[in-house]
Structure 1
Amino acid sequence: MSIFKFEPRWKEELVVTGFGGSFVLELPMGEFSAYLPTQTAWERKAPTWAKELWPQLKQELEAWCVANKAQFIVDETASVY
């Protein structure tokens, strides 16, 4: 069962919505790819309701990237807002 819904939006953003709210990840279009912070960085940057959900988010975002032909990149410097 999916926890997250992914919706690309202009300005190279991926809106991620879950049961506790939403946040935005980077989705550069030049080289279509989705960026997720490492688990350690996620715990510092994520909304409170989503801090413990990194493993599920990683799994679902990776599947979304495969289905949408996007690269999936885990990077400590990735933004969450």
Structure 2
Amino acid sequence: MSKEGTFQFSPRWKEEVVGSLDGRSFSIELSMGSACHAYLPTQDKWEAMAPEWAKGTWEKVRADLAAWCESQKYPLTIAANCWVSFDPAT
């Protein structure tokens, strides 16, 4: 996986945002009530759950997601009780 590209983010129905880079993707929570809000698990939780392709990418994901959230005017919360779902590698 390229460590130099930028993760792309797109909202998906059922209150998720999908992050993708180089054909790999993951989903995290994006509340879609009166105001959207993104939630990213902590680095420790990410690393514990990440498949091999996603290990070592948390800081890049955090930075790219923070920039995306800022451009969308969405707050971002990082917490241990947040979830992430990794799509199978293709």
Tell me by how many angstroms 1:51 deviates.
1.6
Look at both structures and tell me which one has the larger radius of gyration over its CA atoms. 2
What is the match of residue 69 of structure 1? 73
* TM-score (ref. length: structure 1): 0.90
Q: Does 1:18 align with 2:21?
A: yes
Moved more, 43-52 or 67-76: 43-52
Whole-angstrom CA distance in 2 between matches of 1:47 and 1:73: 22
Q: Does 1:59 align with 2:67?
A: no
* Aligned-pair Cα RMSD in Å: 1.4
Q: Percent identity?
A: 44
* TM-score (ref. length: structure 2): 0.82
Task: Point out where structure 1 has 5 or more consecutive residues left out of the alignment.
Answer: none
Aligned length: 81
What is the match of residue 37 of structure 1? 41
Task: Point out where structure 2 has 5 or more consecutive residues left out of the alignment.
Answer: 86-90
